[in-house]
Homo-oligomer: A and B are copies of this chain.
Amino acid sequence: MTTLAVDCMGGDHGPGVTLVACRQFLDKHPEARLLLVGQPASLQAFTHERASVVAASEVVAMDDPVEVALRRKKDSSMRVAIQQVKDGAAQAAVSAGNTGALMAIARYLLKTLDGIDRPAIATQMPNAQGGATTVLDLGANVDCTAEHLLQFAVMGSALVSVLQEREEPLVGLLNIGEEVIKGSEEIKRAGELLRSAAGAGDLNFHGNVEGNDIFKGTVDIVVCDGFVGNVALKASEGVAAMIIGGLKQEFKRNIFTKLAAAVAYPVLSALMRRMDYRRYNGAALLGLRGLVFKSHGSADVLAFEQALNRAYDAARNNLLDRVRARVAHAAPLLATADQPRAS
């Protein structure tokens, strides 16, 4: 039996979405148990033999500053859900709440793994191969050293090997050109560290990749600092929204284009299914002494269920031990992150 703690109050929609997704999830996974965390009045209508309510009196708002979420709302559903993981009552926590608050509370309660300075947020983006590329970091760390990027690469390798069953996933370093001489000094140093790690058998390094490689599917994992990752993710969402918005506009132009839309509909919806960002919902917070997954705040039922699925797969396949083992294996290289730099 694998148990997930679900922050049922988080996200833009709260229990209206999370509870429906929880029921669908339970129906599909007979070996799963859920701890539904939140205000009992909102959750009491939900009954299931493999679900129980864990009371939490407060809710972290989507726009609460990190300090408020961390210091003032000590009985928030987000915090209580993560506490279940810490206490061993659940193997992973899932929340659609405010990312900054989730990361801060998770880090405060669970602490980072030995050898990891900073946790990272890893998400999947669809690629032209019909698969997904895992990208990290996605916004937790704005200034990263080469050692941080190496830590992300090691943790990302563990994540992909567990969730996509690729034993030696291919890692790319996001840069502005393929040549090793490209990029800032820190990026060049990261390239050197990643090559050393590949030489020591810690990971499978492809070399530098560029922004378009995320969507080409050149590698399984793309490593970058959180600022760059966040901009790349949002720019990509922006382009996709612009193209889809443009398609809708063109098809609505007149009666002929509306007829064309009706004819093309099955084809367009097949494409939309393939590109559907909801299928990739559920970002992993990596580097902590416990598993935490973050759903998009705007997730609907399908998307939130997908985040539950990812957390469930990670928990029952022991992602935490796999990350720990990979980090331990790479320890001689990772350890340098804490040392003052020779330069």
Contact = CB atoms under 8 A, between A and B. Distances in A.
Interface in A164-212: 174, 176, 183-185, 187, 210-212
A335 interface: no
A251 to B, nearest CB: 6
Interface string A207-241: 00011111110000000101110111111111111
* Max count, chain B CB within 10 A of own CB: residue among A210, A231, A245, A275: A231
Contacts of A230: 176, 210-211
Q: Size band of the A side of the interface?
A: 35 or more
A234 B239 CA distance: 11
Contacts of A119: none
Contacts of A216: 238, 241-242
B266 A260 contact: yes
Copies of this protein in the complex: 2
B259 A271 contact: no
Interface of A: 126-128, 139, 142-143, 174, 176, 183-185, 187, 210-216, 224, 226-228, 230-243, 245-247, 250-251, 253, 256-257, 259-261, 263-264, 266-268, 270-271, 274-275
18 contacts: A128-B241, A143-B184, A176-B231, A187-B227, A210-B230, A211-B234, A212-B238, A212-B241, A235-B236, A243-B271, A243-B275, A247-B267, A250-B268, A250-B270, A251-B267, A261-B264, A263-B263, A264-B264
Given A211-B237, A253-B267, 14 more contacts: A128-B245, A128-B246, A174-B231, A176-B227, A184-B227, A212-B234, A215-B241, A216-B238, A227-B228, A228-B228, A243-B271, A243-B275, A250-B268, A264-B264
